[in-house]
């Protein structure tokens, strides 16, 4: 079952389309990596899912039910979120901040204890939040989002600005949550930060969802470059040494197998010494860069 679905979701500001006909499908229990360069519309889409802003057109469906003014309150009780910078009052301690959230959400003591333990902040709760590292602030933000044990957690760039150890900590936390049945949607503008954590990826470019699927599906959807190795020199009288010395490599992007066979046939017919034809392996990073036009900012 999909825990989130959107149907032709559109958000326009003035005449700019910021979210453009987006159809998300987030399967229950997964970590959904929501990727796209800065400005591609990730935060806006997440705000639409959380009903913080209204769509220009289209629909959001959460837990199999449409999000609207009648269902909004009830559906939101099942969603925890961390949008943009981490919340929390700096001059209060972690414990005091959690107390405020508890009162606001009506969470039990047990729920708060579990949320804090999940992000491993139990030993830092008596420090003022202004003395927390960025990683600790993010973890406190996640604890707040977990305070009512949501089925769905929506995290907007929780690894932004963290050092590698902090990023690793968040990754481990997201995996742990998914293993305990929480569906996690997490955004990033850097594939590497969530690539190995997410089992489903959605890639946004200029407001459009250009790809959605498992890591393997995304890799399969890319067509690796064909690389053809050719001996040098058209001169039939050149020596083997000359031919080897002047050899060259042709690179042809996004061609299918039939077209490749045709190109090789033409080369051979014209007398070229083709000695190698292969597909260049692409990493998921290359796919992401190609799809999002070099991660243009």
* Distance from C-alpha of 40 to C-alpha of 104, rounded to nearest angstrom: 33
Residue 239 near residue 297, CB atoms below 8 Å: no
Does 118 participate in binding ligand ADP (rule CB under 6 A)?
no
Considering the complex, state which of residue 36 and residue 295 has its C-beta at the smaller distance from ligand ADP.
36
Q: Binding of ligand ADP at residue 9 (CB under 6 A)? A: no
83 Cβ partners below 8 Å, 6+ apart?
43, 46, 47, 50, 52, 154, 156
By CB under 5 A, name the binding residues for Mg ion.
Answer: 42-43
Return the sign of the alpha-carbon dihedral for residues 134, 140, 146, 148.
negative
Partner touching 104 among ligand ADP, Mg ion, none, CB below 5 to 8 Å by kind: none
Binding-site member from 18, 144, 152, 200 for ligand ADP (CB under 6 A) = 18
Q: Which is nearer to ligand ADP, 53 or 252 (CB)?
A: 53
CB of 65 to Mg ion, least distance (A): 26
**With binding defined as CB under 6 A, does residue 13 bind ligand ADP?**
yes
43 is a contact residue toward ligand ADP (CB under 6 A): yes
| Residues paired with 7 in a beta bridge | 59
How many residues bind ligand ADP, per CB under 6 A?
10
Residue 39 binding: pick among ligand ADP, Mg ion, none (C-beta 5-8 Å cut-off by kind): ligand ADP
Pairing status of strand 226-230 against strand 274-279: antiparallel
From residue 194, give the alpha-carbon distance in Å to each of 103, 121, 171. Answer: 33, 22, 7
Backbone angles phi, psi at 274, to 5 degrees: -75, 120
d(CA 27, CA 246): 53
Q: For the CB of residue 252, give the shortest distance to ligand ADP in the complex, in Å.
A: 33
DSSP state of 129: G
Identify the residue among 3, 6, 31, 40 touching ligand ADP (CB under 6 A).
40
The CB-of-32 to ligand ADP minimum distance in angstroms stands at 15
CB of 16 to ligand ADP, least distance (A): 7
Contacting positions for ligand ADP (CB under 6 A):
13, 18, 36, 38-44
């Amino acid at each position: 079952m999909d825990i989130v679905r959107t149907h032709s979701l559109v958000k326009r500001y003035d005449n700019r389309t910021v979210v453009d006909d987006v159809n998300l499908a987030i399967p229950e229990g997964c970590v959904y990596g929501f990727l796209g360069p800065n400005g591609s519309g990730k935060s806006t889409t997440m705000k639409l899912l959380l009903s913080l802003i209204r769509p220009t057109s289209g629909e959001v469906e959460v837990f199999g039910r449409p999000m609207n003014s009648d269902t909004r309150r009830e559906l939101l009780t099942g969603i925890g979120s961390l949008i943009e910078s981490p919340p929390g009052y700096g001059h209060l301690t972690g414990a005091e901040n959690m107390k405020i959230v508890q009162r606001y959400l009506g969470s039990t003591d047990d729920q708060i204890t579990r949320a804090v333990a999940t992000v491993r902040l139990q030993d830092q709760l008596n420090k003022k939040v202004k003395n927390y590292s960025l990683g600790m602030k993010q973890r406190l933000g996640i604890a707040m989002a977990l305070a009512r044990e949501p089925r769905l957690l929506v995290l907007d760039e929780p690894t932004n600005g963290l050092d590698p150890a902090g990023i690793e900590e968040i990754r481990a936390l997201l995996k742990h949550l998914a293993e305990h049945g929480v569906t996690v949607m997490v955004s990033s503008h850097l594939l590497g930060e969530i690539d190995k954590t997410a089992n489903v990826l959605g890639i946004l470019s200029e407001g459009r969802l250009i790809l959605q699927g498992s890591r393997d599906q995304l890799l399969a959807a890319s067509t690796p470059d064909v690389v053809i190795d050719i001996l040098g020199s058209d001169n039939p009288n050149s020596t083997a040494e000359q031919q080897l010395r002047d050899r060259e490599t042709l690179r042809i992007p996004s061609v299918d197998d039939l077209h490749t066979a045709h190109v090789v046939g033409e080369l051979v017919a014209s007398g070229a010494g083709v000695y190698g034809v292969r597909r260049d392996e692409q990493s998921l990073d290359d796919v992401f860069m190609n799809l999002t036009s070099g991660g243009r900012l």
